[in-house]
A and B are shown apart, each in its own frame.
Chain A
Amino acid sequence: MRALRIAATGMAAQQLNVEVISNNIANMNTVGFKKQRAEFQDLLYQNVERAGVQSSTGGTVVPTGVQIGSGVKAGSVYRITEQGALTQTGNKLDLAIDGKGFFQVLLPTGETAYTRAGNFSVSENGQIVTSEGYVVQPAMTIPQGATDVTISPDGQVQATIAGQTAPANVGQLQTAIFYNEGGLEAVGENLLLESTASGPPIVGAPADNGFGKLKQGYTESSNVDAVSEVTALIVAQRAYEMNSKVVTAADQMLSTASQLKS
């Protein structure tokens, strides 16, 4: 009875689907979060009777053959990297990327992580850091006594210092783009790491060819759409129920078989 195992693969797949959807809904208000989708593929097929074999000595040929599938598997859970809505916050150190690109963040381990969450602040020694305190790369120090910070769409950071007329140049922010953004590995805290699937980062100045512009005073909201998530949830739940019906049917047939009089 393959049906039992096939239905089990279906139920496992839908369970994963619900897990992915619930993670999307849970992160609906996470800055820079990109929604994910579980993607399914059919499993291998078993050729019970091959197409094209001769079915009789007269030379008749089986036209289609009997191929029986063995269920479904989750092929991948991929990130949909479309732009989230930009929300105005008024905070001087909130940055959103309008277009392609990721901010670079130095992790305590020495690795570079990438993020779309630009809700930055200033650390006690004047560096621009993420909400976890990781330094945004390239590191720059905002001088003490700065009354205002301006960040231009192309990443120029300037500080206005009390008593000086011209704003002082603090540094140039750089962003990174990837061949395959979907291949980046998520490590939590809105951070992503480079992987073999994503390819190496291409670092450049914002607003350059292929790079998105920076917007000061904005953050990028998650791109989770509540309505489509709830619809997906309903579909997943019904699909789960249908697979459980198959289990019932297979069970009923087995019980019929075992009750045959000998």
Chain B
Amino acid sequence: MNTSLYVGLSRQETLQRALDIAANNIANADTAGFKVEQPLVRTEPTALPGTGLDSRPIAFVLDQGVGRDFREGALENTGGAYDVAIGGDGFFQVQAGAGLRYTRDGRFTVDAQNRLVTKAGDPVLGDNGRPIVLDPNRPAPAIAKDGTISQAGVNLGRIGVFRFADLSTLQKAGANLYSVPDDSQAIAAPDATTLQGVVEKSNVQPVLEITNLIEITRAYERVARMMDQTSDLASRAVNSLGRVN
């Protein structure tokens, strides 16, 4: 059995996945609050049974997981009264249909019931866990650095910001939302800063992603060449070694 072909195949599979992830990063380069991802691979050393003479372990490449870079994206000043960004760590809490969700995308709006909602229409929750209701007869709200939202001096509550001790428990749920297996892991962050009139862009760095793309394609080609050479070797062994004059 020619294991080097399978080792090559294991690398090619992870490279295809790496390309999928890079493609998703690039497609979301303009998505507010998007966090860039990269594949994590590990080697899986396997001792090959019954190879007495040369019993060096063989190392396959396996997917380990997806690493997320939670660094802050660029802040864009939009001046919109309902655009909010979190300075530093933290997530907004959103009441989605399927349960509580977390997001860094602070492009909010108001719905027909006058609640502060995300663009998808899910209510943004205050630090008391309830939606924030605005008064349509008052001017646009002012949001203070500590998340206090007020209209013409009337306090309407505070926008809740939450942190997680372990960010790796967060799962992306699509629509710029994250979910956690257990909502009690969300710790209120009363010291977080909220910035009104600012939107956090994605933290995708175009140059890095394009270099990544080149690296992935070249690595794929190298592995393919290695596999070609292996199969050449096998065919030569069959054709030359087996010849008896």
Contacts and interface: CB of A to CB of B under 8 A. Distances in A.
Nearest to A209: B137
Contact of A210 (B40, B79, B138, B231): B138
Contact of A235 (B30, B139, B232): B30
Interface string B157-175: 0000000000011011111
Contact of A75 (B37, B119, B216, B221): B119
A6 B27 contact: yes
Contact of B109 (A9, A40, A78, A243): A78
Interface stretch (B17-25, B47-55, B123-131, B185-193): B17-25
A45 B232 contact: no
A11 to B, nearest CB: 8
Contacts of A182: 109-110
B136 interface: yes
Q: Which applies to chain B's interface (DSSP): helix, strand, loop or mixed?
A: mixed
B27 A72 contact: yes
A166 interface: no
B31 A72 contact: yes
Most chain B CB neighbours (cut-off 10 Å) among A62, A65, A180, A236: A180
B27 to A, nearest CB: 3
Contact of B172 (A45, A48, A99, A246): A45
Interface string B88-131: 00000000000000000101011111100001110000000000
A60 to B, nearest CB: 11
Interface residues of A, number: 72
Interface string A59-87: 00011111111111001101010100000
B32 A63 contact: no
Given A82-B80, A179-B110, A179-B114, A257 B23 contact: no
A68 B138 CA distance: 44
Nearest to A5: B23
Contacts of B213: 245-246, 249
Given A41-B31, A68-B24, A180-B110, A51 B169 contact: yes
A64 B66 contact: yes
A13 B26 CA distance: 12
A252 interface: yes
Q: Which applies to chain A's interface (DSSP): helix, strand, loop or mixed?
A: mixed
Contact of B24 (A14, A42, A99): A42
Given A10-B26, A76-B119, A249-B216, A242 B136 contact: no
A16 to B, nearest CB: 11
A42 B206 contact: no
A226 to B, nearest CB: 16
Contacts of A262: 231
A40 B119 CA distance: 10
A246 to B, nearest CB: 5
Most chain B CB neighbours (cut-off 10 Å) among A48, A64, A80: A64
A197 B111 contact: yes
Interface in B175-221: 175-176, 181, 206, 209-210, 213-214, 216-217, 220-221
Contacts of B66: 64-68
Interface in A1-44: 1-4, 6-7, 9-10, 13-14, 17, 39-44
Contacts of A41: 31, 105, 119-120, 174-176
Contacts of B29: 10, 239, 242
Nearest to B35: A42
B51 to A, nearest CB: 23
B12 interface: yes
A193 B232 CA distance: 70
B16 interface: yes
Given A210-B137, A253-B217, A49 B63 contact: yes
A45 B137 contact: no
Nearest to B114: A179
B4 interface: no
Contacts of A100: 139
A197 to B, nearest CB: 6
A66 B65 contact: yes
A39 B119 CA distance: 8
A10 B27 contact: yes
Contact of B111 (A42, A177, A179): A179
B75 interface: no
16 contacts: A10-B27, A39-B107, A40-B28, A41-B174, A45-B174, A48-B63, A64-B168, A72-B31, A179-B110, A179-B112, A179-B114, A197-B112, A242-B209, A242-B210, A253-B15, A253-B216
Q: Lowest 5 A-B CB distances belong to which pairs?
A: A10-B27, A210-B137, A199-B112, A64-B65, A69-B24
